[in-house]
A and B are shown apart, each in its own frame.
Chain A
Amino acid sequence: MKLEKVMRNVYLTDGMLVTKSRYGSHYGEKVFDGFREWIPWRSKLAAMILKGYTIDFKGEEKVLYLGAASGTTLSHLADIIDEGFIYAVEYAAKPFEKLLELVRERNNIIPLLFDASKPWKYSGIVEKVDFIYQDIAQKNQVDILERNTEFFLKKGGEILIMVKARSIDSTVEPEEVFDNVLKKIKSRFKVMKHGNLEPYHKDHLFVHAKLF
């Protein structure tokens, strides 16, 4: 098996993205010899990485994950941040049930069943973090990110946001939505990279930025 290192604990083998993991399958992905397949159609972060964009994780970061859903992407992020901690916020109980399976088998995930648009509710739980990852398809998702940044992001900390054009405004062209989002983010962050997630996810934009 030929492995090509992409970033910390992330490899490419035969065009397939995998994370180094000692855990079993969480969402139906293949598992082999200590690796778990990372399916780009299921995870926007996987799609971004497969498109050649990487994030330079050290593995000991504190991460705040907004919109963790059932833990598909979270499971791989937990493989990468294997010496750090991830605060996983999700408001819907049903997917959270599945996410809790993940929490039980690993010890680097703190589950938070809270509304991400109200960060003050968990302000006495989450510490200052190095990284905020956000994937919540909501109209005001940039505001939600900013509110959480205010409460929890360290100076010089980074954000990665997945934007779904249709959930922000379905009446205008995605490009227009993306321009507005970028403008908003640029007022508080230094944008490091951004791009779309075609062909894996249609009309999606990712933005990786750093807090001034």
Chain B
Amino acid sequence: MYSEKVMDHFSNPRNVGEIPGANGVGTVGNAKCGDIMRMFLKVENGIIVDVKFKTFGCGAAIATSSMATEMVKGKSLKEALQLTNKAVAEALDGLPPVKMHCSLLAEEAIHAAVEDYLKNHPEEAIDL
């Protein structure tokens, strides 16, 4: 049911863990629904220089978290805010329909972490 890419990112997740001293942290999801994602960002000069995640959830939740971190690493905050769940799903060669909400969570987790950073750096939000 899962593509090879999903299985690859599930079994060898990239950027798993946390960043000590992260300056943007976002948590989305709900244990009741079975998925929680937490993204940690290290932002320098408007660029995401490091990103890590921790996820409680199914195979798709872990794979989309992993892929989303790969897609925003080294990117600007503006680019990270443009990340869509569709792009994450496509990068994984697709997801089963019932699992599309996992890619949405990944998008929301990245956005939440960026917004957390911007909350403490409101001057940078003006440029976006």
Q: Do A and B come from one complex?
A: no
A-binding residues in B (CB < 8 A): none
